[in-house]
Amino acid sequence: MKTLGEFIIEKQSEFPHATGELTALISAIKLGAKVINRDINKAGLIDILGENGSANIQGEKQMKLDVFANETLKNALEARGVVAGIASEEENNLVIFGKDRATEGKYVVLMDPLDGSSNIDVNVSVGTIFSIYHRITKIGSPISEQDFLQPGYKQVAAGYIIYGSSTMLVYTTGCGVHAFTYDPSLGVFCLSHENVRFPKQATTYSINEGYYSKFPTGVKKYIKYCQENDDKTHRPYTSRYIGSLVSDFHRNLLKGGIYIYPNTAQYPKGKIRLLYEANPMAFLAEQAGGKATNGYQRILDIEPEQLHQRTPFFVGMKSMVDDADRFMAEYKD
């Protein structure tokens, strides 16, 4: 059994210039994940206690779990002193760490602390997504939005935690994708999947087909393609959609699939956030031999303009994303 801590230190020794700061950063995320995992597993119970007006188990004012997840990760990251600040789905603006605006942190972190949190009420798995960059501004000077509005190909590391039937932390630093399963009896994440790659054979497409009438023509054509009978390409594919990006992505990574959230009437620019959802998942996908686009362009090449900007998102096995992109090119609306 190899723990996440042991694995990171072992890998760190492969990078002589590594100073251990990224190791400290990832272990802060690991700590945050353990705390969030503990409370997610009691979510129903805490809600029940909270609903009759009594205090929750810890006697604290009950926080919505996604706010709780945000506070937990923010505190864990600030405590390590290697992060200059964060951007989060739960924060309108940048959060600058350190007593004054100048700070010594070498990294900035962008995160969706609890993606798919509406699923908690119905006991469906949810996730935390994180994306790590070197800051652009000089260490010691104030950080600014330019530290965060970097294209995805500049990410130093990215990953997610999935709180499902087991809790797993999946991450990449650009040297493959590695997955660790949490053992609550020991309080450690153990290496369970080293160098994860998408399978060779496509099996699953994930999209909310309830919005079919609102999809671009290329997406409609691709869905019909997935549903055709063709033994050579193992179609029809299975349709699976959980409504939680991390869960759908994780299943597609292990079983072979594609996740699509295109632009729709309700989300003309797409629903998925570029900086702290699409970019980290795209980095992981490419490191696992897959592909991620907005239907036309590589996600990691998109030059961000705003912290919370959205994008259409096609991510998964390269062969499946290639097929979807081909239909998008052929049937431009």
Chain residues binding ligand P6P by CB under 6 A are 115-116, 208, 243-245, 248, 271
What minimum distance in Å lies between the beta carbon of 254 and ligand P6P? 17
Q: Kindly state the smallest distance separating residue 124's Cβ from ligand P6P, in Å.
A: 11
Q: Based on CB atoms, which residue is closest to ligand P6P, 199 or 243?
A: 243
Q: How far is the CB of 264 from ligand P6P (least distance, A)?
A: 8
**Distance, CA of 210 to CA of 217 (rounded, Å):** 15
Alpha carbon distance 48, 316 (integer Å)? 38
Residue 295: alpha-carbon gap to chain centroid = 19
Angstrom distances, CA of residue 134 to CA of 105, 241, 277, 289: 9, 34, 18, 24
Taking the least distance from each CB to ligand P6P, the nearer of 66 and 78 is 66
Between the alpha carbon of residue 245 and those of residues 51, 114, 138, 300, the distances in Å are 29, 11, 35, 18
Query: For ligand P6P, which residue has the nearest CB?
Result: 245
Cβ nearer to ligand P6P, comparing 33 with 281 = 281
For ligand P6P, the closer CB: 84 or 315: 315
* Neighbour tally for 292: CB within 10 Å: 25
Measured from the CB of residue 286, what is the shortest distance to ligand P6P in angstroms? 19
With respect to ligand P6P, which residue has the nearer C-beta, 114 or 157? 114
**Integer Cα distance of 117 and 47 in angstroms:** 14
**Cα separations in angstroms, 211 against 81, 190, 230, 251:** 45, 39, 26, 22
- Tell the smallest beta-carbon distance from residue 266 to ligand P6P (Å): 8
